[in-house]
């Protein structure tokens, strides 16, 4: 059996997290090392390793995640000035946790290109 990822342990409530939102399909919680005044992660409860592992059967789930992102961004007061949504995928993008997650960051300006 493969070791649970840290995010699966958060889903299973084996380790604590500052949870922002939860429903049957997803969980949102604050990043432990925030890169912006507001920085939370939105993850599916389904174990999908990365963007590369999303299948056609996940379309509704991914749509739901983005609807949640938009709703939480508004609730947490970052929607009006703008925010960034990032999903690191694989080694070159510095993905460290192999459970699909979307970083949602706001409360400061972000440069482009990201570097
Ligand atoms: P990645 O580098 O894979 O795109 O992002 C993983 C993110 O998860 C990082 O920003 C990191 O700070 C966050 N993270 C790692 N372990 C934990 C944890 O135990 N709790 C929380 N809340 N965030 C974590």
pLDDT in tens, 12-36: 999 999 999 999 999 999 999 999 9
Binding site membership of 33 for ligand 1 (Cβ less than 6 Å):
yes
How many other C-beta atoms can be found within 10 angstroms of the C-beta atom of residue 72? 19
Check residue 57 and give its pLDDT.
Answer: 98
CA of residue 32 to ligand 1 center, whole Å: 6
Which residues, at least 6 apart from 65, have a Cβ–Cβ distance to it below 8 Å? Answer: 25, 26, 42, 44, 102
Binding site membership of 49 for ligand 1 (Cβ less than 6 Å):
no
Q: Is there a contact between 66 and 40 (Cβ–Cβ < 8 Å)?
A: no
In this prediction the pTM is 0.97
Binding site membership of 29 for ligand 1 (Cβ less than 6 Å):
yes
Catalytically active residues, by annotation: 101
CA of residue 40 to ligand 1 center, whole Å: 9
Check residue 77 and give its pLDDT.
Answer: 98
Show the low-confidence residues of the chain (pLDDT under 70).
1
């Amino acid at each position: 059996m493969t070791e649970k990822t840290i995010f699966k342990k958060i889903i299973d409530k084996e380790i604590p997290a500052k949870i922002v939102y939860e429903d049957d399909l997803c969980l949102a919680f604050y990043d432990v090392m925030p890169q912006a005044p507001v920085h939370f992660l939105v993850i599916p409860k389904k174990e999908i390793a990365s963007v590369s592992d999303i299948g056609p059967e996940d379309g509704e789930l991914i749509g739901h995640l983005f609807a949640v992102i938009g709703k939480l961004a508004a609730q947490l007061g970052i929607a009006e000035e703008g925010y960034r949504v990032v999903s690191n995928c694989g080694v070159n993008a510095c993905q460290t946790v192999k459970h699909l997650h979307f970083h949602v960051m706001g409360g400061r300006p972000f440069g482009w290109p990201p570097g």
